[in-house]
């Protein structure tokens, strides 16, 4: 199943609830929640109180992407605030296996993310551990950037690593996904698609419907 996970980083926060309702009406599956600390990435976004508020207004899966140093410090609090999936960065989390186990012990799904210049091979030893692997397709920190082409090869490589090991896990892509390159990431093997500008820029419901329709056909 191909999943649409709109990144609320690109929403208008003054009318966040209304904009999320429009994305739901267009058929999205998850909401992607980008947390930035100004340390791991050169930007600051939003955190726990915002997650608690949106937890009250949606039943959709809340897919939390922690772009923060030492994310193990905050896993429990994001789960308490309503996260369904927590993704931490391989580059930022030293006790990585332990952190994934902690997320699982709380009954939630766990993801491992890598930045564009991190070799996909680093994920090898975690293949059977995480539920999802996030291949960043832009440098994390900002929405609205252009897709980095060499990341397509990393998606394909990860897909092969998983199938060679006979392991089933989600492959998430995040950054610069558009109507133009959606076919490329789907063909490469991604199945959880994060999109900010391509959903919240313009007519939100129509954008979400456009991609949901493509995904339904792709099955």
Binding site for ligand DX5 (CB under 6 A): 7, 9-10, 32, 34, 65, 138, 140-141, 143-145, 174-177, 194-198
Question: Which residue in 83, 130, 174, 200 binds Zn ion (CB under 5 A)?
Answer: 174
80 a catalytic residue: no
Closest approach of Cβ 50 to Zn ion, in Å?
15
- Nearer to ligand DX5 by Cβ, of 65 and 108: the residue is 65
Q: Which stretch binds Zn ion (CB under 5 A): 61-69, 75-83, 90-98, 122-130?
A: 61-69
Closest approach of Cβ 68 to ligand DX5, in Å?
12
- Give the span between the Cα atoms of 19 and 41, in whole angstroms: 26
Query: In terms of Cα–Cα distance, which of 181, 178, 187, 123 is closest to 149?
Result: 181
34 a catalytic residue: yes
- Asked if residue 210 binds Zn ion (CB under 5 A), the reply is no
Residue 189 forms beta bridges with which residues? none
Closest approach of Cβ 65 to Zn ion, in Å?
4
At residue 42's C-alpha, the angle toward residues 41 and 44, to 5°, is 85
For residue 205, give every residue at least 6 positions away whose Cβ sits within 8 Å of its Cβ, in sequence order, or none: 22, 23, 25, 26
For residue 162, give every residue at least 6 positions away whose Cβ sits within 8 Å of its Cβ, in sequence order, or none: 127, 168, 169, 171
């Amino acid at each position: 199943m191909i999943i649409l996970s709109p990144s609320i980083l690109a929403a208008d926060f003054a009318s966040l609830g209304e904009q999320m309702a429009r994305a739901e009406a267009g058929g999205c599956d998850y909401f992607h929640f980008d947390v930035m600390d100004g340390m791991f990435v050169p930007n600051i976004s939003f955190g726990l109180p915002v997650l608690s508020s949106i937890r009250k207004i949606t039943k959709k899966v809340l897919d939390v992407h922690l772009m923060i140093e030492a994310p193990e410090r905050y896993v429990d609090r994001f789960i308490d605030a309503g996260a369904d999936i927590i993704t931490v960065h391989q580059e930022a989390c030293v006790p990585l296996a332990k952190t994934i186990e902690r997320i699982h012990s709380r009954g939630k799904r766990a993801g491992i993310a890598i930045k564009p210049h991190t070799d996909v091979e680093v994920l090898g030893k975690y293949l059977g551990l995480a539920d999802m692997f996030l291949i960043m397709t832009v440098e994390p920190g900002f929405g609205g950037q252009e897709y980095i082409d060499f990341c397509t090869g990393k998606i394909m490589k990860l897909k092969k690593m998983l199938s060679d090991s006979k392991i089933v896990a989600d492959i998430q892509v995040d950054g610069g996904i558009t109507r133009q390159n959606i076919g490329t990431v789907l063909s490469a093997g991604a199945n959880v698609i994060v999109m900010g500008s391509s959903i919240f820029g313009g007519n939100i419901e129509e954008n979400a419907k456009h991609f949901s329709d493509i995904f339904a056909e792709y099955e």
